[in-house]
Amino acid sequence: MIAWSSVTLDNLDIQNEADKAHRQGCISPETQEAIRKAHPVDLYTPNLVIRIGLFLLTCIVIAFTSGFFLLLALGSDTATGFRVAVILASLLCIGVLEFAISQKKPYRSGINEALLWSAVGLFCCGIFIENYDLSENAWALTVLILTALGTLRYADMVSSAVAYLAFLLLVFWQVMKIPYGTAVMPFLLMGISLAVYLASSRLVKRRALRHYSDCLTVLRVLSLITLYMAGNYFVVRETNSMLLMPEAPTDIPAGWLFWALTVIIPPLYIYLGVRKKDAVLLRTGVILVAMIVFTIRHYHSVMPLETAMAIGGLVLTGGAWALIRYLHTPKNGFTYAPSDEAGMADQLKVESLIIAQTFPPTARPADTHPNFGGGSGGGGGASGDF
């Protein structure tokens, strides 16, 4: 299903692991070069600066090409001509992307992302242009299908994130149509987010899905964030006020429960992250602590904003300094040093694979009979040449 060869992607993982081992001084440059020769990669993956430049350049080319198609459709009196032109431009983007992958093999080069995202955007524009009677469900379902296909074919992280959000939006509009949908909405979204997190945490460990590990990691992070946002007091109250019940009372039913969820969930993420040594849980919890402060301050202001920011900055700076000092010597599996967290290639037993394929055993001739040498001396047959 994925556009690139699985063997090539595996070799890329192995080369990345070998480069990391070389940077850490675990292997010599000769060994690193031998590994790269034993596991060749013919993908084009430029650095970040070139990747951004190629992305912008490809977007400019797509814009000019799409404009050319729209100029050809100017003679049409209805939106049908524009719709056909935009959809043709979208299909052309996919065709160029497939051709480029088959011939030049770009991988996370900026070209892939520009062509894929442009294709999805143009196709959506072609479907929705002047279709004012389409429901929100049709919008969400169309985006979900297109981005899900893009994720499966190209393992694109942005597509996986958009697909997940489109799925939540589809659930949101569906539940809004049922009685008491407003009351059950936060808990339903929290349940879906938790299920997605647990499922992606299990799937990311499967070898068959190793090339989608980054997409699954994005789903893990997003599901943790949406789980918290669905139970956050500020989000629930403001959503009810703006979309669901414009004339609702100032407070929401079971407000104390949402206040409790607002305060408890981020520290729970941090605790589970420390206990399981899970960087995704730990970092997400630390980030969401800021949402606790924002929510509390939005409804209960205890000091001027400038004073609160100054005190918060001092606390964070002091805490970071103390934590750096404490973790200068690794403790309980945590360290201040840069992370060397095992990548997907470690699940393929990279060390044994590299040794086996890079340094094959030398064949030895079989001994068919004992060889005791000559016998130039007299007597026993053994000489000084033995």
DSSP string, 163-211: HHHHHHHHHHHHHTTSTTHHHHHHHHHHHHHHHHHHHHHHHTT-GGGGG
Q: What pLDDT, on a 0 to 100 scale, did the predictor assign at position 361?
A: 47
SS3 279: helix
8 A C-beta contact, residue 343 and residue 21: no
- The total of other beta-carbon atoms located within 10 Å of residue 230's CB is 23
Report residue 44: phi and psi, to 5°.
-100, 110
Following DSSP, what letter does each residue of 302-317 receive, concatenated? -S-HHHHHHHHHHHHH
Q: Which of 288, 270, 233 is nearest to 255 (CA)?
A: 233
Q: What pLDDT, on a 0 to 100 scale, did the predictor assign at position 354?
A: 42
Q: Which of 28, 12, 105, 22 is nearest to 344 (CA)?
A: 12
Tokens of 85: 């032109």
Radius of gyration of the chain (CA): 30
Q: How far apart are CA 79 and CA 141, in angstroms?
A: 22
Q: What does pLDDT average to over the chain?
A: 80
Q: What pLDDT, on a 0 to 100 scale, did the predictor assign at position 332?
A: 62
DSSP letter (8 states) at residue 362: P
Q: How far is CA 276 from the centre of its chain?
A: 20
Q: What pLDDT, on a 0 to 100 scale, did the predictor assign at position 359?
A: 45
Q: What pLDDT, on a 0 to 100 scale, did the predictor assign at position 249?
A: 52
- Terminus-to-terminus CA distance in the chain, angstroms? 65
- The total of other beta-carbon atoms located within 10 Å of residue 164's CB is 24
Query: Tokens 């929401």 sit at which residue?
Result: 252
Give the DSSP H or E segment for 216. helix 213-231
Chunked into runs of 10 residues, the chain (386 residues) has average pLDDT values of 86 86 82 86 89 93 87 70 86 93 89 93 84 77 92 92 94 83 86 94 90 92 93 85 60 80 90 85 87 80 71 76 72 61 42 44 48 50 48
Q: What pLDDT, on a 0 to 100 scale, did the predictor assign at position 344?
A: 38
pTM: 0.80
Q: What pLDDT, on a 0 to 100 scale, did the predictor assign at position 3?
A: 85
Q: How far apart are CA 96 and CA 91, in angstroms?
A: 9
Q: How far apart are CA 303 and CA 293, in angstroms?
A: 13
- The total of other beta-carbon atoms located within 10 Å of residue 66's CB is 21
Q: Which of 242, 282, 237, 240 is nearest to 257 (CA)?
A: 237
Ramachandran category for residue 349: left, alpha or beta (phi over 0 → left; psi -120 to 50 → alpha): left
Q: How far apart are CA 56 and CA 111, in angstroms?
A: 9
CA distances from 42 to 15, 103, 107, 153 (A): 12, 10, 10, 19
Q: What pLDDT, on a 0 to 100 scale, did the predictor assign at position 225?
A: 94
- The total of other beta-carbon atoms located within 10 Å of residue 174's CB is 13
8 A C-beta contact, residue 215 and residue 157: yes
